[in-house]
Structures are given as C-alpha cells and as structure tokens.
Structure 1
Amino acid sequence: MTNLEKQIDEILALRSIFDTKFRLLDDNNHYEILIDFDQIEPFIIRYNNEKFIINHLPAFTLIIHYHDKYPSDYPPSFMLSCFYFSKSSLQNLCQKLDNYSFIKDEVCVYDWIELIKHEITNELILQTKDDEQINDPRALNGYSNENIDQTYQSLINYNNEQHEKQFQNQLQTCLICTDIIPGMDFIRLHRCGHFYCQPCLNNYVRITLNNGKFGEKLHCPQNQCQKALLPNEIKQIIQDAQLYQKYERLTLQHALESMNNVIWCP
C-alpha cells in the first residue's frame, strides 16, 4: 500500500472510533481528535491548599498533519492543546511523542492517543512554579501563572455542568412521591442537592407558606435537612407572581422586625 492509502485507512479507522470527536480541518491530511480521559473513579484536582473531587474533564485536543513520508519513513506532525495542562506539561508530552518508538510503514496515531490518555491518573495538580524550558510551538493553550486561577475554576464549572447534564438525561426518583421521571423534569435544590418533581415541591412550598414559614425557615422537605430554599428556587417552584410577592413581603417584614436598630415610622 502507498503512504496515501495507509493515511486514508487510518483516517477511516479513527473516524469510526471517535465519531463526532474526529474532525477534518481542511483536506484529508489535517485533522483533530478530541480525546476523553477514561475516568472510572472520581479524582482530585489540587491547587495551592484547595482540592476538589471531579468526575468529568474537558477533552484533550490532538491535531495531526500528514506529510508525504508518513508512514514509510517518519511519524506525522502534531500539535497538542489542553487548557488544564501547564505549558511545561504539554511540552514534556510533545517530547514523549517524539521519543515514542515509531515503526516504519506502520501508522501510529492511535498509539499516541493511548499514550496521552495515561497522562491523567487519579489526581491532577495545578502547578504555579516558573517554567524555564524552551518554548515548543506544538504545545498550545497550556495554562501559565497568570491564568491558573481561572483554569481551576473552569474545571470546577465544567464538572458541575456535565454532572447536571448527566442528571437531566437519566431517570430519577422523586424523594417525595417516588415517581420515576426524567431528570430534566426535576428541580434540584442548590444548597443541599436534594431533588423533587415540580408538583411535589409546589405543593410543599404552598403549604409551608400558608403555615407561616418563609425566608430561612422554608427548608428543604427532606427529613432532617436544614438547608433553606433560595428565593429564585421558590419563584421557580410556585410560578405564581402574587404568591411570590407575598413571600418577599413577609420575608422582608420578618427581617426588619428582627433588627434591633430599626425605628418604625409612627
């Protein structure tokens, strides 16, 4: 087989494996693959004295460019892009791919992908130390000291977004009526994470308000959960402008009455 035929076969194989994660960039010799790390167990992100347990990581981007001598003589050209790898980590990974044992006449991109996947184990440490390595132009979008705070927060936000998507796409059981319905039809409370179907929460909030409980006294209905519902959650639950105005008025009145430094106008 010619180099071109082997390149075409490799592209067809990679496209069948990675599906929507595979994208041609211009012609048949330049493409990118979004690599998902195989995370079976949750793992830890560490940054300074903080740590956060996550289940989802954004994809790592591998960009491949074929040339006339691949795979007969040399491996293809490549670039790596990942915002939660430091610049030095990406440059080290470039060196690993350079040093990978390339066998002439055999395609290698899938083997490179497997090598990249092993870069993440059960812990990701965001480093802030200075890097004196020579800049490798193949290492793109790695974080630096200037944006490491943003990188840490972006990973947390992405994990929360994916967790919510996963919740919405699966069947869930209401903790009050025990009905099993799609997660997208539930309301999950921000402060505690407990979730209930709209009708059950609507009924609970209305009864609780009629019993004179509002503000921080309007707790999650889960037994022994003392987390109060947020005002925007109550508004979403009852979907009644007049009743919500009553809730706001009573909450404000109660807050003012509890202040010792408030003087009422006679």
Structure 2
Amino acid sequence: MNADLEEQEDELLALQSIFGSEEFIRNESKAAGEIRVSVELPADFTVVLKEGETLRQYDISFLPPLLLTFELPHHYPSSSPPSFSLACCWLTHTQLSALTARLIELYQATGGAVVLFSWAQFLKEETLSFLGLHNVLELPSDEDVQRDPESNTGREKPLPSENSLKNISDDSVPVGEKKAERASQPSEFKADFKNEGAASLSDSTSELQKAQTLSGLSLSQMLLSRILIHQAEQKQKAFASTLFECGVCFITAPGSECVQLSECHHIFCQACLAEFCRVRITEGTVRGLTCPQADCTATPTPAQVRSLVGDELFSRYDRLLLQSTLDLMSDVVYCPRRSCGSAVILEKSSTAAMCSVCNFAFCVTCRKTYHGAEDCYAPKQQKEDELEEILDLPETNEGIKALMDDYTSGSAERKRLLEKRYGRSVMLFTIEEMLSNEWMKGNSKNCPHCFSKIEKNGGCNMMTCFSCGQLFCWVCLARLPIRGSDLRAFDRPCSICSYFWTRRRPDIL
C-alpha cells in the first residue's frame, strides 16, 4: 500500500470518528462516500417566498443539508483532488458552481494534503458568507423557475425546469463541460483544475419535481414545504436531546421523555401529563383537561392526548368532548330513543325534529312521537286525572318524605294501594324528582358564570366550576379573578373573599 492509499484510509477513518452515521456514509467497496453538511445559520435567518402580491416569511433555524459526494482517485491527495459533486435543493446552479470552484481552490492551497474535513468545515461555517446570503434566503417564484436563464437579465435560473432535468443523465455534471463531452469523457476529472469538481442537481430536487406532479403544487411551494418539514424534524431532535424540568413533579428529564404543549410551550414529563389526562377523562371533566400550569388555559392537541392515554381512553375523551360541546349549543337536542340518543339539530321555525341516525320524528317540546298541531302530553281527561292525583299529594316536604318512606318500606299490597291512590308514575318518578330537587336546593348553588349546579363537599370557599372552570366565592357567588387579573373587573366580592384575595393572596392582584 503506497502513501496515498494510507492517507486515504486514515482520512476516511478520521471522518467516521468525527461525524455521526447520519452525517457521513462511507462506501466500503471503494474509497468513496458522502458527507451531509448542515449549514450554520444566524439567529435571525429568514426564508422568504413571494407569490404575486403575497409575501410569505418564515424564521428558520435549520436548512436541508448540502450533500458532498466524493470518490478518491489513486493519486489523491498527492497530485489529484477528489472527484466530487455538490447537491443542494435550495441553492442555484450558479451558487453550486461557485462553491465547487472554491473547494478546488482550497485543495490547491493545501499543496497535496487531505482536504475533505476542511471542505466540510468550509461548507458548514462559510457557505452563507461566501455566497452573500447573510440573513435572508429568497426562494424563487414560479415565474423565475420556468424562465430561461439566458434571457433573465440580472438573475440566474434558481431551479431546473422540466426540460433541463431531462437533459441531465447523472448527478455529476463537471463545470464547463458540454453535453456531448459528458457522454464521451470518463468519470475521473482531468488534471486541469478549472474543470474538476461538480455542480449538480440533488436527488431531493428530482423528488420535488416528482412530488410537484403528484400533488399539483408549484416547485417553489414544494421546496418551501421541504424546508419547513426539515425545520420541524431538527427542532424535534434538538428537543429530544435537551434536559427539561417537569412543571408538575419538578424532576429533570430529557425531552424524549417529555411533552411540550404547542399552544403555551409549557413542558411536562410524559408520566405526569398522562396521569393528569387519565384522571380528567375518567372523571368526565374533559373541559378541565387543560395545561396543568396554574392559570394556563391551553389544551394539549388530540394527537398528544391519544399518545398519552391510549386509544380506549381517547375514544371516551373524544366522545365526551363532543357531547360537552353539543350541550352548550341551544339548537341541539338528543334523540329521545334510549337505543339511539344521537344529536339532532333543531329548526327554529318548527317544533318537529327528525333523528338522522334512526329516522325517528319527535316533538321538541315533549320528546314524544311527533303529534302535529295537537297539544303535547296525554289526552285532556288523563291530564285532569293526573292533576287531581298530584293535588292529593302532601303539601309539605315532611309529608312527601313520609309518603316516600311509607312507599319504599311498605309491603307489596301497601305499594299497590299507594300507586292506585297517587298513580304509579307519581310514586316512582315525580316524588323522587321532587325530593332530589329539594335536596339540590339546600345543598348546591349555581355557578355565577354558566349556572351549573355546584356542590361544596369540603375545602375553602374558593370554588372552581367543573363545567366552565370559573373561579367564584361560595359565600357570595362573586366571580373571582385569575392570576394577573384586576379584581375590579369582576363582581364585587363579599368581605370574606375580599379579605382572602387582598390579604392572603395579594400576589395575584
């Protein structure tokens, strides 16, 4: 093995130890490979696409990498440079050619030393400054893409047209060669350094052309889409390798074991957020499935909820969320059939409704089979009989409770007697409903915001509505402010909650 071959092997081994498996790929069958170079971008780097009168602008931290494909000839590095090609979907032909010429100059400056690592560093650190792209990358519009570069005064053709793609037979096009010369010359480059190296179209550009045909999007839109997708992928990789402190358990964990809410950017470990979601879904308070951070109303995305709780609980979450949304809509009722119960949209001009699932037509008022223009409920005589039976009920709550105790503890004969006197439906449903309503009157209060029934079973007087999340005082039912809000913007509180908010919790006013 001569000195050149030894230096080649040492250089390839060094590149394998320096770069990761995604950055450097070696061809084991010969002295060749490819290096993917991610260009360093300034903090305020922007990608701009102008479509007619519309200007689309994005802050970018990562661009798709440059692909440096190389093959080392036998006399490299002593007397021959590497045979190589440069590929990048967001650079123009002219820019790739300029970079190629610069790489050849770097090899000449070494005087016969290995140069691949120096090339990679130059592409990573100096590409933007060398090409004059400091803070803005302007993507070509559709007109620029299709325009002939020879007739485009003052602007080179940024991306290839369909005709130019057909004329390119491979990914290595030596600078300055003509089409006829490419067909007859071997793959090795001549000793003339002016024609060594290659400025080529990348495989990604060809893929963009194919995707353009399938999706119907313009080439510039597909290029922008690829840049944004690459940006999201790299951000996710950076997040996964960073350590974060969970906002619930305050334990430090890598990003791969954490979840970041896209709306508020708060970060929690997967275990804490998963348990929080499971409890909320199991209890049925899906409206309360918000960010665990205090006073934050952001919600996790459905995809995040599914990944945290699994498909079974997510199905319940999806169903309850839809149901709670429909419950807040005044023009939606449910089909009265117990076997159906589907949501039905009402028409304001009619008292009739028809379920789209079971095709049951019913009256909106009494929830019975639709009866046309006739009055709701039972026939007139039956109404009078029921009214008479209801009037015979005890007038006091104590009397109703005694009657209910008599019915529930009595014998079968006693129950039949009471049902005959008061009516079976009254004994089974009406009295029970009256007692239930009476109990709620004495043991619950209405939320001052959404008027839902709230029961206080312990704790302080600061209550949180399970339905709308409103904070209020149990004593005076005044709506209480959240952190950072002005107390004067809410209902005037009583002395108890005013003392609590101004003395015990002055930090949130």
Normalised-by-shorter TM-score class:
0.7 to 0.9
Q: How does 1:37-52 map to 2 (within 5 A)?
A: 37-38=39-40, 41=43, 43-48=45-50, 49-52=55-58
CA distance in 1, matches of 2:11, 2:282: 67
Residue of 112, 115, 134 corresponding to 2:119: 112
> 1:119: Cα distance to partner?
1.0
Please say which structure displays the higher CA radius of gyration.
Answer: 2
CA distance in 1, matches of 2:17, 2:56: 40
CA distance in 2, matches of 1:7, 1:240: 54
Alpha-carbon distance change, 240 to 99 in structure 1, aligned in 2, over 3 angstroms: closer
SS at match of 1:102: helix
1:66 is matched with 72
CA deviations on 1:93-150 (whole Å, 9 max, x unpaired) are: 2233345461443333333323322113653514213462698723131748953322
Q: Which has the higher contact order (CA 8 A, sep 6+)?
A: 1
CA distance in 2, matches of 1:211, 1:19: 48
The count of residues paired between Structure 1 and Structure 2 equals: 264
On the 8 A contact 1:86/1:127 being kept in 2, the answer is no
Q: How does 1:174-253 map to 2 (within 5 A)?
A: 174-205=246-277, 208=280, 213-214=285-286, 218-239=289-310, 241=312, 244-253=314-323
On the 8 A contact 2:258/2:268 being kept in 1, the answer is yes
Unaligned runs of 5+ in 2: 150-155, 158-163, 165-171, 174-197, 210-217, 333-344, 347-352, 354-361, 368-509
SS at match of 2:59: strand
1:32 is matched with 34
Same amino acid, percent of matched pairs: 26
> 1:220: Cα distance to partner?
1.9
On the 8 A contact 2:39/2:63 being kept in 1, the answer is yes
CA distance in 2, matches of 1:31, 1:190: 39
On the 8 A contact 1:6/1:107 being kept in 2, the answer is yes
- Identify, as 1 or 2, the structure richer in helix: 2
> 1:27: Cα distance to partner?
4.0
> 1:38: Cα distance to partner?
4.1
Alpha-carbon distance change, 93 to 225 in structure 1, aligned in 2, over 3 angstroms: same
CA distance in 2, matches of 1:18, 1:244: 42
1:260 is matched with 331
Residue of 135, 139, 142 corresponding to 1:123: 135
Alpha-carbon distance change, 219 to 13 in structure 1, aligned in 2, over 3 angstroms: closer
- Aligned partner of 1:157: which letter? I
Confirm whether residue 7 of structure 1 aligns to residue 8 of structure 2.
Answer: yes
On the 8 A contact 2:261/2:299 being kept in 1, the answer is no
Alpha-carbon distance change, 200 to 66 in structure 1, aligned in 2, over 3 angstroms: closer
- Aligned partner of 1:119: which letter? T
CA distance in 1, matches of 2:114, 2:84: 14
Residue of 92, 96, 100 corresponding to 2:98: 92
Q: Which moved more, 1:245-254 or 1:78-87?
A: 245-254
CA-based RMSD of the aligned residues comes to: 3.6
Unaligned runs of 5+ in 1: none
On the 8 A contact 1:62/1:78 being kept in 2, the answer is yes
